[in-house]
Amino acid sequence: MRIIAAAGMWMAAAAAPAEIPRAVVVLEAGMAPLPGQVAEAAPPRFVLLEDGQVFVGGTHGLVTTRLAGRELKDLDRRLSDVRKLPSLAGVVTVGPGMAVRRLLLRKGRPLEMRIEGDLAAATPALRPLATLVLDLERFHHPGLRPYAPAQLALSAREGNLPGGCRPWTRPEPLAGSVFAPQVVSAADFASWPTGAAAASVCAGDKKYVVTLRPLLPGEKP
């Protein structure tokens, strides 16, 4: 398992860990969105499934690989070490700053943490947790390959983005995605931006900011 520096800085509020079947580890890391981006639509930063398949999310999409037995054992050992820390709680402050991550561990007793502050400033007591989160956040593996999702979570809100807007020609009523995401086929939106990148859409006399979040196998928004 090799770790490299992340290309961007993950900051601010992170979304709650997604409900992903067979996931034993889910890390959500908030991001500072650029103009035209919606942070909540970015994929999870790191997901480990029961069978060793890993998904790593960026701003727009996901890559995936499968860990070998030894790699899984090393990661499982680190997860066990974190579970043994006496200072864990629903909210864990590791240092100063506004950065927020959410970590969900499901193997054994489910454990969900909101991790606040600068991971680099963690005290010795919390360093195993901070180091684990940093390594998952910056995870890299030579076997990683692009993941093509079969489905996307379509979300919309009324609003404008700079520039023009796409006409909405799909049969799904766009207004129905304002209150709850709709699951749509990725093949139907092959030319659309995904993840945090938003699209400006015209539907009737209204304009919407639309996002399409890639869904993992079995995931329901």
**What integer is the mean pLDDT of 104-128?**
92
- CATH assignment of 2-145? 3.30.1560
pLDDT confidence of residue 201 = 95
Pair type for strands 166-167 and 199-203: parallel
Residue 46 has pLDDT above 90, yes or no: yes
Q: Domain-by-domain residue ranges, the chain?
A: 2-145, 149-214
Confidence category of residue 83, pLDDT binned at 50, 70, 90: very high
Question: Is 18 within 8 Å of 104 (Cβ atoms)?
Answer: no
Residue 14 has pLDDT above 50, yes or no: no
Compute φ and ψ for 71, nearest 5 degrees. Answer: -65, -40
Question: Rounded to 10 degrees, what is the CA torsion of 213, 214, 217, 218?
Answer: 20
Confidence category of residue 4, pLDDT binned at 50, 70, 90: very low
User: CA-to-CA distance for 42 and 52, rounded, in angstroms?
Assistant: 22
Question: Is 107 within 8 Å of 23 (Cβ atoms)?
Answer: no
What is the DSSP secondary-structure string of 196-215?
TB-EEEEETTEEEEEEEEEP
User: CA-to-CA distance for 45 and 9, rounded, in angstroms?
Assistant: 12
pLDDT confidence of residue 176 = 84
CB atoms near residue 196 (< 10 Å): 22
pLDDT confidence of residue 55 = 98
pLDDT confidence of residue 7 = 31
Average pLDDT along the chain: 88
Q: Supply angle C-alpha 121, 105, 133, rounded to 5.
A: 25
**What integer is the mean pLDDT of 154-170?**
91
- Determine whether 48 is exposed, middle or buried from the number of CB atoms within 10 Å of its CB (0-12, 13-18, 19+): buried
* Chain position carrying tokens 């034993």: 24
